[in-house]
Structure 1
């Protein structure tokens, strides 16, 4: 499948990551992904990534555990996970969230 434009990615051109995320558009310095209707979870392990994540909760509820602090997020809330910082997400209500990673990543 070839992309029609460097400025647009259509829905049928998106790819899916190993954790169920939808990879949307990728720029020179950042990339965007969508977590769509993610089911509640209770035991997702901590992880650390070499990129910063900025996110926005569209629907559902989730607890972000970052650097030892638990932050409860609801629709309309934005969040930040600094690069190289241990974190996890505990989804408490089916979640849809949009994230931007910097630098760009396909994960």
Structure 2
């Protein structure tokens, strides 16, 4: 299993716009084969975090090639000021 933590810092006053795009991304991503979990959480209205779990690297790679992911990524470019992506694997898979 692969876990992804993607942190995003929003440009000022972009929270509602970001959430509108992100809701569709979350909904459609949860339907993908190989998706175990896909959640969006917030610290406040300027910092949010996607927390994801994927069956394997292949599932994660296929996710980044979907129409809804590409569409959201393009929309996020005008809403996000900074982002960080970290990928984790369980200790028992090393």
Please give the range of the TM-score, normalised by the shorter of the 2 chains. Answer: 0.3 to 0.5
Q: Which has the larger radius of gyration?
A: 1
Say which structure, 1 or 2, has more relative contact order (CA 8 Å, 6+ apart): 2
Relative to its length, the structure with more helix (as a share) is 2
Q: How high is the TM-score relative to the length of structure 2?
A: 0.38
